[in-house]
Amino acid sequence: MEALMSGAIARASACHLQQHSHSLLRPCLPSLTIKLHRSSFEMITNSRLMNAVASSIQPLEASTAEQYDNMSPSKEVLDMWRTADAVCFDVDSTVCIDEGIDELAEFCGVGKAVEEWTSRAMDGSVTFQEALAARLSLINPSLAQLQDFLEKRPPRISPGMAELVKKLKAKSTVVYLVSGGFRQMINPVASILEIPLRNIFANQLLFGDSGEFSGFDKNEPTSRSGGKAIAVQQIRKARGYKTLVMIGDGATDLEARQPGGADSFICYGGVQLREAVAGKADWLILNFEDLINSLD
């Protein structure tokens, strides 16, 4: 974590060199590694900030409970959660309270248009790759803009997430971050939660020699619809996990629950409650306290 918090930016070309020999379980080095200052991380742990975040996303649990019959897990689902030897978390609107690409878009002055595409992608009304390409075309971020964004907008971790990850790790449960977002923006999140960078499976922003935006790595499975499911399947196959659980808020997270992939899908609706996804979940939660307490 000290290494991540000190220094500036290191470039690497591993993604370009490995495009034809890409292995999902040997994720390539980011084309840039953002080094954040300690003060940025201290902002995340500020108690007043976290209290404000927690109060801003408090759901109407009583009214939601009337709509859904999956807010109390079955014995089978609860047993899978308690005995899982691996848990894969979505990042945007799950591990973090924001949609990272929306935050970057707002920072670059095109927030409204990009937010609409994000909503359509998460609801499953357009393909993920279509929405990803459209959003990045609108944002068109330079390397300098991305660096500036990460320095000024440190990650905002969802209430209870740090405690949940700590508790899972104490049980020897391996934690992964599987996201349609970008490695450059997820590396700081992983470092805050002390999740190994090798356990990140996400997309990669690409930049030219002059720092101009040149696209994203289309070889990453998470860059297309069904990509999270492929990532989870390959994680499980390579590591031989007996029980694996996926936690997220979107349609792409729900897709990970399939043979050879996640055994169960837990929908986190504490930030965004997407009806089409929540109703199909094995377990719908509105705060991470439910998961933390169920591990006792």
User: Looking at the annotation, which residues are catalytic?
Assistant: 90, 92
Q: Which residues touch 200 (CB under 8 Å, ≥6 apart)?
A: 27, 176, 177, 179, 183, 186, 187, 190
Tokens 């095109």, residue located: 110
C-alpha 166/C-alpha 183 separation (Å) is 22
Tell me which residue of 185, 80, 257 sits closest to 267, measured CA to CA.
Answer: 257
C-alpha 165/C-alpha 229 separation (Å) is 22
Tokens 């807010």, residue located: 71
Please, are residues 142 and 213 in contact by the beta-carbon 8 Å criterion? yes
Tell me which residue of 28, 274, 242, 43 sits closest to 151, measured CA to CA.
Answer: 43
Q: Quick one: DSSP state of residue 171?
A: T
